[in-house]
Amino acid sequence: MDLSLIGTIIAVILTLMVYSYLIGDNPLYRLAQNIFVGVSIGYITLVVIYNVIVPFVGRTLQDRPWLERVLPLLALLLGVLLWFKAARPRNVFSNAVLAIIVTTGAALGLGGTLVGTLLPQMQATMLTFSSDIGSIIGNLVIIVGVIVSLGYFYFTAKPDGTRTMTAGYVATAGRWFMMVAFGTLFGFAVTSFFALLADRIKFLISPGSLLL
């Protein structure tokens, strides 16, 4: 028997086990869930070993200048120190490694966010009204939406706990804008999952369709 056919049969069975959740929570669904988690972890482990660790060690052992060989060893040492976290959660060595990771990641993320998200987004709100009427309306909606959405998060109030009427209206409009945005996100998400469901149904009815 062809291995691909066996794999297809197993995939069909597991798919049916997963969709048995439509009837209710049952052992078959739990079994498929556990199988999926186990297979995923095993696969990822192999991928990391053969696609990350082994090439890394190979590069380190290559005939390179001593600095290029020491730095990977230093990184490897830091990785080993991170394992002390399992023995003692407050181990100083593992905390030092984590500190390096966190600080480096924060610096990298801050720079990328500032250049890649914050400034471009601010630039995107600086729109002109020189084009056609459709673009003018669209740009106006964007500008108003940005302002009122930011105004929703303006929590400053008077000493007596009340807010000005303008702030209240702005917050209300901002809430409506955000609700529209969230509704759009939800609708698109539903569409994506319906596409996945249709694909699985197609797979169940004609398993060979996966093969071109």
Partner 1 sequence: MAEDYREEEIIVPLRCPNCGGLNPPENKVCQLCGFRLVGATPVSPPGVEMRSGSEPPDVPATPSPAIVESLAPVPPPDVSRPSTPSARGSGLAARLGGASSAAPPPAEWLGDLRRNIGGDAPTLINPPTASQPAPPPEPARSASGLWAAPTAQGDEQLGYVAPPTPTISPYRRDDLPGPTNKPVDWLASLRASSSLSPETEPDAAADQPEDAPIAIPDWLRNLRASGAPAAGVAAEEDEGVDAPPWLTDEVAPDTGPLDRAESVTAPAKDLPPWLRDGTDTLDPSRVDQFAATQNAAEGQVASIPPWKQQPPEPAPPARPDFSDWFTNRAATNVAPAEQALPSTTTIARSGSFLEDSDAPAWLREVAAAAPPPMPQAMSDPPPTPAAEPLAVEEGQSPEVAEPDAVDEAIASAAPSARLQPPVSDGETEVGVAPEADEAATDQADELVNDQAEAEVDAIAPQTDTGSAPEAATTIPRPTTSGGLVSGEDLPPWLRVVGGESAASGATLTVADTTVAPPTTTSFFPGDTAEDTTVPDWLRGIGRDPQDVTPASAEALTASVAEPVQRIQRVMSVRQPRPGAAEALAALVATPSASTRTAPLELKGEHNVPASLMRWLLSERGIYLLTALVMIAVVLADRVWGVQPLVVTSPPPNAQVDSFYKTINNLETQPGAPVLVAYDWDANRQAEMEPLARAVTCHLGAIKARFATVSLAPTGPAFAQRIAEATVDRTNPCTSRYQYGSDYVNLGYSAGGDFALRSMVGNIATVFSTDYVNGRPLFGAGGVAALKNVNRLSDFKLIIVLEGDESTARSWIEQVASQPNTPPLLLGEPAALDPSLQPYLTIAAPTRFFGKVAGLSDVARYQYDLTSKGLNMARTDLYFSLNTLSFAALLVALLIIIGNIVFIARLVNRRK
Residues that bind partner 1 (CB under 8 A): 19, 22-24, 40, 43-44, 47-48, 50-52, 54-56, 58-59, 104-105, 108-109, 112-113, 115-117, 120-121, 123-124, 181, 184-185, 188-202, 205-206, 209, 211-212
| Beta carbon of residue 90, minimum distance to partner 1 (angstroms, whole number) | 26
Residue number, 48 or 157, with CB nearest to partner 1:
48
Token reading at 50: 């053969």
The Cα angle at residue 187 between residues 184 and 191, in degrees rounded to 5: 140
| Beta carbon of residue 84, minimum distance to partner 1 (angstroms, whole number) | 21
Residue number, 79 or 168, with CB nearest to partner 1:
79
Residue number, 9 or 180, with CB nearest to partner 1:
180
Residue number, 77 or 180, with CB nearest to partner 1:
180
How many of the other CB atoms lie within 10 Å of CB of 29?
17
Residue number, 34 or 192, with CB nearest to partner 1:
192
| Beta carbon of residue 155, minimum distance to partner 1 (angstroms, whole number) | 24
| Beta carbon of residue 172, minimum distance to partner 1 (angstroms, whole number) | 21
